């Protein structure tokens, strides 16, 4: 038992995406980003949608797939130190509801961006590349894999 700590989880990173209101907050954050981009006068609607998609996917990649460790002091003796947030999510169990939500949300945003850009080739390539950069690291076959040793330590 951990005396003097504020949480009962060994690693709070494992459950933070399942916490109450997280999915709603996430959706509202993406919606706010889009509204802010739409309010910039010289951005057209297709540019705003593509920027929303790219900024969202860049943020998702950095926070879920690039940053490793945990911001909390954990009693697990550093086991989470070498894992990304995605790998820590739900104790590494695949196909949980939070993992499904964070896999489907960039796909839905991609479909919206592609539709509102009227499948313009330039926007389509940018949106597709952005989508692939966040979907490929989420594959169960890549759990714990570091391609070319990138982000190994």
Residue 130 predicted with pLDDT over 80: yes
Share of the chain above pLDDT 70, in %: 88
Residue 122 predicted with pLDDT over 60: yes
28 torsion bin: left (phi>0), alpha (psi -120 to 50), beta (else): alpha
In this prediction, residue 39 carries a pLDDT of 96
Please compute the mean of the pLDDT values over residues 28-46 and round it to a whole number: 96
In this prediction, residue 145 carries a pLDDT of 80
Compare 90 and 128 and report the one with higher pLDDT. 128
In this prediction, residue 5 carries a pLDDT of 54
Rounded to 10 degrees, what is the CA torsion of 115, 57, 79, 19?
-60
In this prediction, residue 151 carries a pLDDT of 72
Residue 106 predicted with pLDDT over 80: yes
Q: Are residues 23 and 90 in contact, defined by beta-carbon separation less than 8 angstroms? A: no
Distance CA 73, CA 94 (A): 25
- Helix/strand/coil for 75: coil
Per-residue pLDDT band for 9 (boundaries 50, 70, 90) equals: low
Per-residue pLDDT band for 76 (boundaries 50, 70, 90) equals: low
């Amino acid at each position: 038992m951990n005396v003097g700590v504020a949480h009962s989880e060994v690693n709070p990173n494992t459950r933070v995406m399942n916490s109450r209101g997280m999915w709603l907050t996430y959706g509202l954050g993406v919606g706010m980003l889009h509204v802010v981009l739409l309010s910039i006068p010289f951005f057209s609607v297709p540019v705003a949608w593509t920027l929303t998609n790219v900024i969202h996917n860049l943020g998702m990649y950095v926070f879920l797939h690039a940053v490793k460790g945990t911001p909390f002091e954990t009693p697990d003796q550093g086991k989470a130190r070498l894992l990304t947030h995605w790998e820590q999510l739900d104790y590494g169990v695949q196909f949980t509801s939070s993992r499904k939500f964070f896999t489907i949300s960039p796909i839905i945003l991609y479909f919206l961006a592609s539709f509102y850009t009227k499948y313009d080739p330039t926007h389509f390539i940018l949106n597709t590349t952005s989508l692939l950069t966040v979907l490929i690291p989420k594959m169960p076959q890549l759990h714990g894999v570091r391609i070319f040793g990138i982000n190994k330590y």
